[in-house]
Amino acid sequence: MAANITDILAAARKHTDEVILPNVDGWNEAGKWPRAASAMAAAVGLTGLYAPEEWGGQGLPLGEGIRVYEELGRGDGAYAFTLSMHNICTFATCGYGTDAFKEKWARDLTSGRKLANFALTEPQSGSDATNMYTRAVINDNGTWTINGAKAWVSLAGEADVYLTVVKTTDKPGHQDMAMIAIPKDTPGLTFGPKYETPSYEFLPLAEMYMDNVVVSEDNIILPVGQGLQGALMAIDIARVSIASGCCGLMQAALDTALSYAKDRKMFGRKNLDLDGIQWMLGDVATNLEASKHLYRAAANALGTPEGPLMAAHAKRFVPDAAVDAANTCTQVLGGMGLLKPYGMDRLSRLSQMLRIVDGTTEVSRVVIGRALQKRAKTLPSLPIPKGYGE
Ligand SMILES: Cc1cc2nc3c(=O)[nH]c(=O)nc-3n(C[C@H](O)[C@H](O)[C@H](O)COP(=O)(O)OP(=O)(O)OC[C@H]3O[C@@H](n4cnc5c(N)ncnc54)[C@H](O)[C@@H]3O)c2cc1C
């Protein structure tokens, strides 16, 4: 029987309160992925959310499982994002991996004994994902030899396997793309220096280099022709997961502001008694409610024809609302909002990062714009005065 979402959400809430919040500043100071913490998340079922039970997963539908990041995002948006990527890779492994690959990896991934991540971005291809160079040659014995470089790989050197999007010809475009899993210990796979980030320092981010990396055909996750399409499906799940995490971040910002403003004395009363402060925080609360409804609707639409557009709406609206919430709540604390112990600066930096990763706000606008053009074609034309339509 699939796990009960109420129990999983309670476990995620407890993980946030007992593991993330008391330790996240220490993780950032140490600058290392907190593997012991992700093992604790795994122990309560947070690393195989959508994977079937036969492979040790929780068997939750996406529409339910994605709510976990709302809980984790209240602790830390980068930690929530990283576990969401692992869960998507685990879902892809169980859904699309070969029998041999599943047998070797699925239980280790659902149990969190091993961690996975996804490598699509390259130095020259971020938003423009089709401009990719990483190239696989398919050998006569079925193995693939891979050469190239990926950029912005999360959990670089920490994850045990990387679901990597590659090209299989020199032709431009995406018709020849595939996705193949490269285990960390494969000869020829190396990582560049860890990027220096202003926050979320515990998340190792780096380039990943493939120098004649040879991988078995057992590791093919998406065959030639389906690599980019599959990656975009994974990114839609990631976009909604990020929106979910952003709701947790907004809740954290709002709660910090309320906790402070209710006791801060000014003008003979409390900061929270001022109409202007209530209005500022009221707008954050409204945006938070709207964001929750939007990401949950988008999560339920995943896998349907509306999924990509709904994911774009959620990724466009919610991280922007989170940036605004973090800034507004910082302002409510006055000077105290700038001090490290209140954590507002961490939330601001995380919210900005979440606007970029897995498709920027602008890329979401492009997706939404294309959908509007499509709809316009179905609408009757209005009379256009002479000269206006030419
Ligand atoms: C913390 C973090 C973790 C990440 N982890 C991973 C990972 O694990 N695996 C992975 O593959 N990738 C990862 N990424 C990469 C991420 O997905 C890319 O950063 C993102 O897709 C944007 O690409 P870019 O940074 O190259 O920006 P660019 O593509 O260079 O964009 C620059 C600017 O141009 C804007 N822009 C782009 N297209 C348009 C347009 N048509 N119209 C108007 N403006 C436009 C963008 O919105 C942006 O503001 C990560 C990134 C971050 C920040």
The label of the residue with tokens 């122990």 reads 43
CA dist., res. 111 & res. 26, Å (int): 25
Mutate to test the pocket of ligand 1, among 117, 127, 197 (most ligand atoms within 8 A of CB): 127
> Cα separations (Å) of 173 from 77, 96, 149, 228?
33, 23, 18, 10
Which is the closest atom of ligand 1 to the Cα of 127? 29
pLDDT digits (tens, 9 = 90+) for 336-369: 999 999 999 999 999 999 999 999 999 999 999 9
Helix, strand, or coil here: 110? helix
CA 362 / ligand 1 centre spacing (Å): 10
- Of ligand 1's atoms, which has the minimum distance to the CA of residue 353? 53
Give which of 157, 337, 347 is closest to 261, Cα–Cα.
337
Residue 324 CA to ligand 1 center (angstroms) comes to 20
Q: What is the distance in A from the centroid of ligand 1 to the CA of 126? A: 5
> What is the C-alpha separation between 105 and 93, in angstroms, rounded?
8
Q: Are strands 161-167 and 116-119 parallel, antiparallel or unpaired?
A: parallel
For residue 199, the Cα-to-chain-centroid distance in whole angstroms is: 16
Written as one string, the DSSP assignment of 362-382 is HHHHHHHHHHHHHHHHHSPPP
DSSP 3-state of 283: helix
CA of 216 to the centre of ligand 1 (A): 30
What domains lie within the chain, and their CATH numbers?
5-115 (1.10.540.10), 117-228 (2.40.110.10), 233-378 (1.20.140.10)
Residue 129 CA to residue 119 CA, distance in Å, equals: 11
Query: What is the per-residue pLDDT for 2?
Result: 79
Amino acid 390: pLDDT: 74
Token pair 């500043």: residue: 25
Query: Ligand 1 center to residue 329 CA distance, Å?
Result: 27
Check residue 1 and give its pLDDT: 67
Q: Which residues of the chain have pLDDT under 50?
A: none
Counting from 1 in the atom list of ligand 1, the atom nearest the Cα of 125 is: 26
Residue 235 tokens read as: 């990114």
* C-beta of 285 in contact with ligand 1 (< 6 A): no
pLDDT (0 to 100) of residue 191: 98
Between CA 291 and CA 20 the distance in angstroms is 23
With CA atoms as reference, report the closest residue to 91 among 130, 59, 45, 132.
59
pLDDT number for residue 389:
83
